[in-house]
Amino acid sequence: MENRVIIGGQWGDEGKGKVVDALSEGVDRVIRFQGGANAGHTIYIGQKKHVLHLIPSGILRPGVKCLLGGGMVIDPWSLRDEILSLEQQGVEVRDQLHISGTAQLLMPYHKRLDELKEERLKRKCIGTTGRGIGPAYLDKIQRTGIRMGDLLLPPENLERKCIEKILSANEMLSEFYQADPLPSRVLAEELVDLARFIAPMVVDPYRELRPVREGRETVLFEGAQGTLLDIDHGTYPFVTSSNSTIGGVLTGTGLPPRALGEINGIFKAYLTRVGNGPFPTELLGDEGENLREAGGEFGATTGRARRCGWFDLLAGRYAVDTNGISGVILTKLDVLDGFPTVKVATGYDLDGEALDTFPCLSGVLSRCRPVYREFPGWEKPTSACRDLQELPAAARKYLEFLEEQLGALIVGVSVGRERDQMIWTPTGVTT
Ligand code: IMP
């Protein structure tokens, strides 16, 4: 079995949780390498719905070790709640979960600063998840953060460190934002308490990942968010604050490139986005509403209605090329079952000129108008199909077109939310 990376090919919410869950059978480890509780992976097993924000979906497979990698920003309050909630549902967590000591702590002041910054930006806001992601990465980059390894400090040292950070954040809160300060002593005591709970899971990542470097363990790397939300390669400034593309796997784990293995990009059969920023194929009005209703497109983390639109091939090819995706997994094909026509953007019109590559420079994408190719819909249910040949011919045509245009094989198609609602197509969909 080869190592494998799962990367979001769009603006997040591609259904990575389900794919990671399906592909984690038989691997030794699942590792998250970036982001924090802004992610929301929903997995259905039988009648049970599990929404995971920090913990890799692999936790639902007994015996699979899970690691929160050093590139993450981790809210210890949320982490404890997530662990306890899974344990209440009968999932064994603490023996299977490890946390890199080099990951950053996401503190209550990061969340407060995230909210206040967004409020201040008003109409120009990013539309963040409000989970404190940007301010936590800011602390990391300006070298003032607390790391998970600090939870191993003697309690009085941790308490002192925490109070110092809160007092400094309070200056920002009260002086810049005229907001109430946070109770430093109460929060520091809570953190010391949390440290007792979390510290046994904290590891030195270099030591912990030795079996992976030596090729003795197989890994599934679980990406969060998506290519177009990457801090460097996404639609800046309407992005998250981490590298959600392939480079993030290396910086977020400390593993060398040879550990990557197969690179799978997850794409929805259409496109969604939460938060603000350009989205050329967005459908407004009833059309968008229909797609949202059909796909149940409401955020797993914030419950916000997702913006919906047609598949964008320029953005798709950009994701394939940027990440070196060799196998595409297409999700939610069944959502398109009821549509009489299905469209795909094959190019952009930029102020009267034809554009055939996704533009990276800020401000350009918002001026692009999509040029569509229309496909007749299949108007038949696909959710019971388990084989390519069982799919309606029109659906197969749609898949073949996407495969050819993306320049990567479609190796899997998801036709429903259950674990087994998958069609595996390791040699692609073109017959
Ligand atoms: P932040 O990561 O909370 O700072 O949010 C920045 C942008 O990324 C906003 O547009 C969010 O809606 C978006 N975003 C962050 N995490 C996710 C995710 O897991 N799925 C989809 N969008 C996300």
- Determine the Cα–Cα distance for residues 271 and 291; give it in Å rounded to an integer: 10
What would you report as the CA-atom Rg of the chain, rounded to the nearest whole angstrom?
22
- Alpha carbon of 225 to ligand 1 centroid (Å): 7
Q: Give ranges for CATH 1.10.300.10 in the chain.
A: 105-199
Q: Give ranges for CATH 3.90.170.10 in the chain.
A: 264-424
Instruction: Say if pTM beats, i.e. exceeds, 0.85.
Output: yes
- Alpha carbon of 14 to ligand 1 centroid (Å): 13
Which is nearest to 302 in space by CA: 157, 150, 131, 149?
131
Q: Which residues line ligand 1 (CB under 6 A)?
A: 11-13, 38-40, 126-129, 131, 133-134, 224-225, 229, 238, 240-241, 274-275
The residues that are catalytic are 13, 41
Which residue's CA is minimally distant from atom 16 of ligand 1? 38
Which residue's CA is minimally distant from atom 9 of ligand 1? 128
Angle between helices 155-171 and 184-198 (to 10 degrees): 140
Second CATH level (architecture) for the domain 264-424: Alpha-Beta Complex (3.90)
- Alpha carbon of 299 to ligand 1 centroid (Å): 10
User: How far are the Cα atoms of 95, 200, 206, 302 from residue 157, in angstroms, in the given order?
Assistant: 27, 18, 25, 35
Third-level CATH fold of 105-199: Adenylosuccinate Synthetase, subunit A; domain 2 (1.10.300)
Pair of tokens at residue 142: 């300006």
Q: Is 287 exposed, middle or buried (0-12, 13-18, 19+ CB in 10 A)?
A: middle
Strand order in the sheet with 97-100: 202-203, 97-100, 65-68, 29-32, 219-222, 4-8, 262-268, 327-331, 409-414, 422-424
- Alpha carbon of 392 to ligand 1 centroid (Å): 35
Q: Per residue of the chain (431 residues), what is the pLDDT tens digit?
A: 899 999 999 999 999 988 998 899 999 999 999 999 999 887 777 777 878 899 998 898 999 999 999 999 999 999 999 999 999 988 989 999 999 999 999 999 999 999 999 999 999 999 999 999 999 999 999 999 999 999 999 999 999 999 999 999 999 999 999 999 999 999 999 999 999 999 999 999 999 999 999 999 999 999 999 999 999 999 999 999 999 999 999 999 999 999 999 999 999 999 999 999 999 999 999 999 999 999 999 987 788 899 999 999 999 999 999 999 999 999 999 999 999 999 999 999 999 999 999 999 989 999 999 999 999 999 999 999 999 999 999 999 999 999 999 999 999 999 999 889 999 999 999 98
Mutational test site, ligand 1, from 57, 125, 133, 240, max ligand atoms within 8 Å of CB? 240
- Determine the Cα–Cα distance for residues 306 and 289; give it in Å rounded to an integer: 10
